[in-house]
Amino acid sequence: MDRVTTTTKLAELTGLVAQGGVAVLSGAGLSTESGIPDYRGPTGRSRRAEPMTYQRFVGSAEARRRYWARSHVGWRQIGDARPNAGHLAVAELERRGLLSGIVTQNVDGLHQAAGARRVIELHGGLDRVVCLSCRERTSRAELERRLREANAGWAASGAINPDGDAVLTDAQVSGFRVVDCAGCGGLLKPDVIFFGENVPRTRVDECFGLVAGARALLVLGSSLKIRSGLRFVTRAAELGIPIAIVNQGPTGGDADATLTVDAPLGLTLSGLTAQLGEITRAG
């Protein structure tokens, strides 16, 4: 996109957001500048990732061992990731009272780390684990401590996948010990929605309610190629709510969008907050 087009679209985006009442829907593309790859955007196209399914996880001890070994390695990158300029800009928009809420498809917790408060984690968060028997939720930090103790001397490394695990060989996985719930001995699972698992209906309804009550919907870094995120864009379009999409590359929601901006997220959102600041000072 040339400089003139970018400037024009940023001005349009600023005018839309400046009126307030904006619901944000964010995807993996917002976190790539924090070093976390995505599935379908520029950083994800070079990777062949096979996400864990819920059915495989609960049905196979070997699958759980592979998952937790890979996730134990990958967590180092996810846990150490820091909010980028895009996350900070979204938090600033919330601080200025321009957002009605944030729905994120991401599981990295970077919106909250940037200071955002009204965040619905559609797919859960990797910073928590849940026992499939007693349903107790505990911190990922505590699990990591227990895994280190159970696997003293074990070490492995590999490329990080978008869902926070690492690519490891069978030889690297062999010998890794999984730990169970410290309370009841049940199976532990990250508190995220696996492929083949349904998002709780109450959570979906909360997201639909946020979209329905918004004056505008701002989509950030989501390809909208699957129903999980696209359904909220479809609902906004059905309700006649203006939709702005900022993403690198085309999305599945472009046909319904009032405005599309194909540009880097951090730069665009930083420019947005800067222009909003100028409007405030001028007023």
- Asked if residue 207 belongs to a known ligand binding site, the reply is no
User: Is 188 annotated as belonging to a binding site?
Assistant: no
**283 assigned ligand-binding residue:** no
Q: Annotation-wise, does 38 bind a ligand? A: no
Q: What is the largest CA-CA distance in the chain?
A: 64
90 known ligand binder: no
**265 labeled binding residue:** yes
How far out from the chain centre does Cα 110 lie? 8
Q: How would you class 120 by CB atoms within 10 Å of its CB: exposed for 0-12, middle for 13-18, buried for 19 or more?
A: middle
Catalytic site includes residue 111: no
Catalytic residue among 72, 87, 111, 123: 123
Residue 131 marked ligand-binding:
yes
Cα 268 to Cα 274: distance, rounded to the nearest angstrom? 10
In 31-187, which ranges are E strands?
99-104, 119-121, 124-131, 137-139
| Separation of alpha carbons 163 and 44, rounded Å | 11
Q: Is 184 annotated as a binding residue?
A: yes
Is 107 annotated as ligand-binding? Answer: yes
How many other CB atoms are found less than 10 A from the CB of residue 63?
Answer: 15
The annotated binding site for NAD(+) is made up of 105-108, 221-223, 247-249, 265
The annotated binding site for Zn(2+) is made up of 131, 134, 181, 184
The annotated binding site is made up of 105-108, 131, 134, 181, 184, 221-223, 247-249, 265
State the catalytic residues.
Answer: 123
